Amino acid sequence: MARIKPFTAIRPAKDKVPFVASRSYEDYSNLEREAILRYNPFSFLHIVNPGYRYHKEISGSERFGLVRNRYLEFLEAGILVRDPEPALYVYALEKEGFSCTGIFCATDSADYAQNRIKKHENTIASREQLFASYLDHVGFNVEPVLMTYPDDDRVTVLIKGITQQHPDLFFTSPDRVTHRLWQVNDPETISDLVAAFGDIPHLYIADGHHRSASSLLLAEGKKAENPKHTGEEPYNFFMSYLIPESQVRISGFSRLVKDLNGWDKEALLFKLDSLFMIDNRGSEPYLPALKHHFSMYLDGDFYSLVLRNTAYDNNDPLESLDAHILYNKVLRPLLGIEDLRNDDRIDYDYSPHAAIQMKSKVDQGGYAIGFHLRAVQMEELKRIADNDLVMPPKSTYIEPKLRSGLTIYEF
């Protein structure tokens, strides 16, 4: 049973919260980043991109040191403020068509190591090491790991009681997302929440596998350096945001392949016919709504591909996963894509308008063919994690996407 813990957060000064909080660095276009860095001196982007001040790209340990310097400058200037005592933080996000309410807390890297915090993706060792080094240099964690848990009545009632009070923080960001945050520092309420989560068997990582793995590496390194290690030191924990699984929104990525690996259209369709029931839907955009149904866009037409029952093992969590089926039956044997992470012939694209976007990218000539899958369901994700399996890359696009700078965890 994974445990949660309150922590003493560093947060933006209340009059500067909308200016400090930022989306992830990669989520902005170059023009957006430039405008924010030029005109908003309070943006957290100044911390994560410290080279902007010097008009140069800075990397490695030099960048890590400057990130730490910018962070300390924000503290000294009162842009960031340290809370007086440990707390949990209930945070609600709302935008058109989506809302969620969860808890910022500290989670134990030992629970990740012992599989009480479950994963569904592989991590890359070099990225783990790089981010662990980054954490060691900067001394704080600003991007929470998104985790989910089975809906629980006790937790729901406790959170509802908290959110009926006036929030400590309330603002709407320029992308029309409404943010509310409640600081929970009442000892009895904290104890009740910690106990309630203590009865939940597992937490599941939705987004943040590398952050979790890197936090464990950091903890192991710090433990080796500390002869008085107890397991309760701040470096043993990392910041997470926990939401019930009913509030997680999972979408899919399109797969776009640059060529047909030597096949012509008719020959490829003939090969696919042995595995799928194929229906040419013409130019009308089509997205699949059912498991084992696939959308394919090729040479100006959308096709629905319905997997034949003999083509998969429904009792195997991985073999019955659509992303794995597409790789195992089409991308690898027919289109020659062996390495889904590193082959430069395949790209992945997320869009709220997936069919139109896929059509546009293929029609522009950069790609020969596109595929889209029904979104992975939460039960499929949990089944993969519970069986210690991993999904193919880019199997899920998971929301919420969280802001940097709303709460910061120091170690």
The whole-number pLDDT of residue 5 equals 98
Once rounded to an integer, what is the mean pLDDT over residues 160-179? 96
Query: 153-163 and 187-198 are packed helices; what angle lies between their axes, rounded to 10 degrees?
Result: 150
Residue 330 pLDDT level (bands cut at 50, 70, 90): very high
pTM: predicted TM-score of the whole model, two decimal places: 0.93
Q: How far is it, in rounded angstroms, from Cα 211 to Cα 106? A: 13
Identify the pLDDT of residue 311.
64
> Which pLDDT band holds residue 396 (cuts at 50, 70, 90)?
very high
Strand duo 237-244 + 145-149: pairing: parallel
pLDDT of res. 37: 95
Write down the residue that tokens 């709303």 correspond to. Answer: 406
- Is there a contact between 401 and 138 (Cβ–Cβ < 8 Å)? no
| Residues in the chain, overall count | 411
| Cis amide linkage into residue 400, ω under 30° from 0 | yes
Cβ atoms within 10 A of the Cβ of 358, count?
A: 26
What's the rounded Cα separation, in Å, for the pair 298 and 290? 21
Checking if the pLDDT of 96 tops 80, the result is yes
Domain locations along the chain: 4-249+400-410, 253-374
Residue 26 pLDDT: 87
| Terminal-to-terminal C-alpha distance of the chain | 23
Tens of pLDDT, residues 219-266: 999 999 999 999 999 999 999 999 999 999 999 999 999 999 999 999
DSSP character at residue 92 = E
Work out the average pLDDT over 328-349.
96
H helical segments located in 263-410 = 265-272, 322-326, 354-363, 378-386
Write out the DSSP string of 4-56. Answer: EE-B--EEE-GGGHHHH-B--GGGS-HHHHHHHHHH-TT-THHHH-GGGGGTS
Instruction: Give pLDDT, residue 314.
Output: 77
- DSSP bridge partners of 374: none
| pLDDT > 90? residue 309 | no
| DSSP collapsed to 3 states, 275-315 | CEEEEEEECCCCCCCCCCEEEEEECCEEEEEEECHHHCCCC
In DSSP terms, 378 is beta-bridged to none
Cα gap 202→36, rounded to integer Å = 39
For 346, other C-beta atoms within 10 Å of its C-beta total 22
Confidence of residue 54 (pLDDT cuts 50, 70, 90): confident
- 349 strand-pairing partners: 254
